[in-house]
Chain A
Amino acid sequence: MNEIIKLKNISYAYSNTRDALTDINLTINKGEDISIIGHNGSGKSTLAKLIAALLKPKSGNLYFNNVEINNKNTNLIRDKVGMVFQNPDNQFIGITVADDIAFGLENRRIPRDKMSQIIEEYSKKTGIYELLNKEPATLSGGQKQRVAITGILAMSPEVIIFDEALAMLDPRGKNEILKLIKDIKKNNSDITIIRITHDLDEAFYSDRIIVLSEGKIVNDNTPTEVFKEEDKLIKLGLDLPFIVKLNKELLKEGLIDKAIYDFDLLIEKLCK
């Protein structure tokens, strides 16, 4: 597999007294769907911002598509790594939906007529075409996140980072965005997804999970492996995903003989 992002011995500190991240080594491959979990303040957002080159590491190196990123070539990352933040309002820059999607295109000096074309195309893809002239105050949280995602897709990114992008949404908005991410991945399997999340069920369905604690990577494995070590997770202030708990109980009760993590398949099996 092709590696797209590589962090080598990266450390970061907001103040002199304590490192927010210490000696991070991480390789992310092209097309991976990867989750980063960890307790509050474990350094997840800091890690995301370092990957997106929004913060400059105190020490260590960042590589994107095998090119080392320094002060002069951050635009390599800027153009190809999109980031959706937690608060839907604070990242809505345009006065209307169309203006917001246009913002990134304007920054890349896309000519106006081409811009309109791109905005139309992508807003149709994400189902917000009807909202193009709306102002953010009239949109739901889910719709605003959809706009943020559209703005990123319009740049044809290689990596999208979701930093708790679902945390402030209601259940309906959450499901909508989860489905949208799934569709993005389905339409373009080359796209790399990084999810920072407190929702362990969301993390469970990604390809790989990175567990952070106190600014260090304490686990980096497949979801099934990560969630096998329940005691370790609880010590880190984490828990098991609902689907894993459910399977455990069912196995214990002897209702199934093998864990089934696909919800629909599990229900089918139980109904037999």
Chain B
Amino acid sequence: MDKYILGKYVPLNTFIHRLDPRMKILSMILLMVAIFMPFPSWTFTFVMSGFNALIIFVLMLISKVRLRDIIIQLRSIWFLLLVLMIINIFLPPNGSIHIIAQSGNFKLYAESFMQTGKVMLRLIEMFGVAMILTATTSPQELTFGFGWFIKPLKKIKFPVEEVSMTVSIALRFIPTLIEETNRIYKAQSSRGVDFKHGNLKMKFKGLIALIIPLFVSAFTMSDDLAFALEARGYNPKAERTSYRVLKWSTKDTIWIILITLFAAGIITISAMHLDLLRHFFPKIW
């Protein structure tokens, strides 16, 4: 399949692949915050956004995530962006002053397009960060990493281990269920169910022919699985040891310091509410 799903793990062995998932999750959060920091002027906003984009682009290069894959992600939301643009045109952002065109009462502001552009840039950056994380971190590592972060919730009786186990079993069975769906699809096709042609009613019938057997399989699967878990001594209430362990290394410490410094810098600049560009380069502006 040549479809790029957001969140698909690419089993390579780049430098970023080898980092601790906890550090990667933390970095992602920090970068996301940096991406969404507001700045006092349009020019400054775009300069900062470009700066963020540069950093993210470098990370993409290291982790071998291609820009193309991110653009493809945007395809699924171009419609949303269009709607956003229309909204921005009719309800211009606060403080819009640059009129490009005017007809009667209606004024078209440059800010409407800048606002849309800003959101689009941020979305691309956001996708970029998310894809770097998911492409370099296997779903298991992710579950493990998140499991570590929610560990303190155990104090308030939140079933941390059970949730982690459930998620990791769900992840394990997704490929099996996809395989099963394909198998049923083929079996039903060979019995004459047409999934591709015909009117809505026939397509709906086809869907039912797919879903019912899939549910039956899923129930058998969960039944089998429940017995298999129990037969192997799994007890959700009991303490267990863990074969997989997270290893935090010096590399991770260095990286998290760098990313924190970067995000802290961006946040500080944003918090100053000062158009630094105008401040330092008043001549140009």
Instruction: Point out residues on A near B: beta carbons under 8 Å.
Output: 49, 52, 54, 75, 78-79, 82-83, 85, 87, 89-95, 98-99, 102-112, 115-116, 119, 135-137, 151, 155
Given A49-B227, A137-B175, A137-B179, are A93 and B241 neighbors across the interface (CB < 8 Å)? Answer: no
Which of B138, B140, B228 contacts A93, CB < 8 Å? Answer: B228
User: When the two chains form their complex, are residues A91 and B224 in contact, meaning their CB atoms are under 8 A apart?
Assistant: yes
The residue of chain A having its C-beta at the shortest distance from the C-beta of B139 within the complex is A95
Which of A49, A85, A107, A116 contacts B240, CB < 8 Å? Answer: A107
User: When the two chains form their complex, are residues A54 and B241 in contact, meaning their CB atoms are under 8 A apart?
Assistant: no
User: When the two chains form their complex, are residues A90 and B232 in contact, meaning their CB atoms are under 8 A apart?
Assistant: no
Distance between Cα atoms of A111 and B241 in the complex (Å): 6
Distance between Cα atoms of A99 and B220 in the complex (Å): 23
Given A91-B224, A93-B169, A95-B168, are A112 and B232 neighbors across the interface (CB < 8 Å)? Answer: no
User: When the two chains form their complex, are residues B140 and A95 in contact, meaning their CB atoms are under 8 A apart?
Assistant: yes
* B182 partner residues in chain A, CB cutoff 8 A: none
* A107 partner residues in chain B, CB cutoff 8 A: 232-235, 238, 240
Interchain residue pairs with CB less than 8 A apart (20): A49-B227, A54-B230, A78-B230, A78-B231, A82-B231, A87-B220, A89-B176, A89-B221, A90-B224, A91-B228, A92-B172, A93-B169, A93-B229, A93-B232, A103-B234, A106-B243, A112-B241, A115-B243, A137-B179, A151-B232
User: When the two chains form their complex, are residues B169 and A75 in contact, meaning their CB atoms are under 8 A apart?
Assistant: no
* B224 partner residues in chain A, CB cutoff 8 A: 85, 87, 90-91
* A54 partner residues in chain B, CB cutoff 8 A: 227, 230-231
Q: Which 3 A-B residue pairings sit nearest by Cβ, starting from the closest?
A: A102-B243, A90-B224, A91-B228
Distance between Cα atoms of A115 and B245 in the complex (Å): 12
* A136 partner residues in chain B, CB cutoff 8 A: 172, 175-176
Among B136-170, those with CB < 8 Å from A are: 138-140, 168-169
User: When the two chains form their complex, are residues B172 and A106 in contact, meaning their CB atoms are under 8 A apart?
Assistant: no
Distance between Cα atoms of A143 and B45 in the complex (Å): 57
The residue of chain B having its C-beta at the shortest distance from the C-beta of A92 within the complex is B172
Distance between Cα atoms of A178 and B163 in the complex (Å): 38
* B2 partner residues in chain A, CB cutoff 8 A: none
* A83 partner residues in chain B, CB cutoff 8 A: 227, 231
* B175 partner residues in chain A, CB cutoff 8 A: 135-137
Distance between Cα atoms of A52 and B244 in the complex (Å): 28
Answer yes or no: B171 CB below 8 A from chain A CBs.
Answer: yes
Closest Cβ–Cβ distance, residue A73 to chain B (whole Å)? 13
Closest Cβ–Cβ distance, residue A43 to chain B (whole Å)? 16
* A79 partner residues in chain B, CB cutoff 8 A: 233
* B240 partner residues in chain A, CB cutoff 8 A: 106-107, 109
Which of A52, A112, A116 contacts B231, CB < 8 Å? Answer: A52
User: When the two chains form their complex, are residues B242 and A112 in contact, meaning their CB atoms are under 8 A apart?
Assistant: yes
Residue in B140, B168, B221, B228 with the greatest tally of chain A CB atoms within 10 Å: B228
